[in-house]
Amino acid sequence: MSFTGKEDHNISLATAAEWTANFRATNPPAPSAHFYGKNAIQAILNQPNCVGIRVYYALDSAGVKQLIIVGAKSDESDLYDGLLAERSAPCPPYCGSGNPLNGL
């Protein structure tokens, strides 16, 4: 399979709410979400040959779960020599107002 950048990733709110609730119920008190600013995401997407992003699960040196974002090319390879994003704003505590996805 090749990536095109036009893959369908749609999910209904009902399914997304169910899945995020399932995660919160089985992984307390782990972060249930991570915020990344538009500029970081856009900078990754603006790299030459980037058609999307890949998100890696990671553990930092303190053993805290993190996410690493990297650009991906159409041949499914990572743009690992390019820009990488981390240092998200985790929820909690940065959750915003309550909604079906964060359960607040």
Report the candidate in 87, 40, 46 with the shortest Cα–Cα distance to residue 68. 87
Establish if 62 belongs to a structural domain.
yes
Domain range holding 80?
Answer: 13-91
Whole-number percent of the chain with pLDDT over 90: 67
β-pair partners for 68: 56
Please return the burial class of 40, using the count of CB atoms within 10 Å of its CB with bins 0-12, 13-18 and 19+: middle
Give the C-alpha separation, 81 to 61, whole Å: 22
Considering the domain boundaries, does residue 70 fall inside one?
yes
80: pLDDT strictly greater than 80: yes
In a domain, 32, yes or no: yes
pLDDT of residue 44: 97
Enter the pTM of the model.
Answer: 0.84
Structural tokens at position 22: 């399932």
Please state the domain count of the chain: 1
Mean pLDDT, the chain, as a whole number?
92
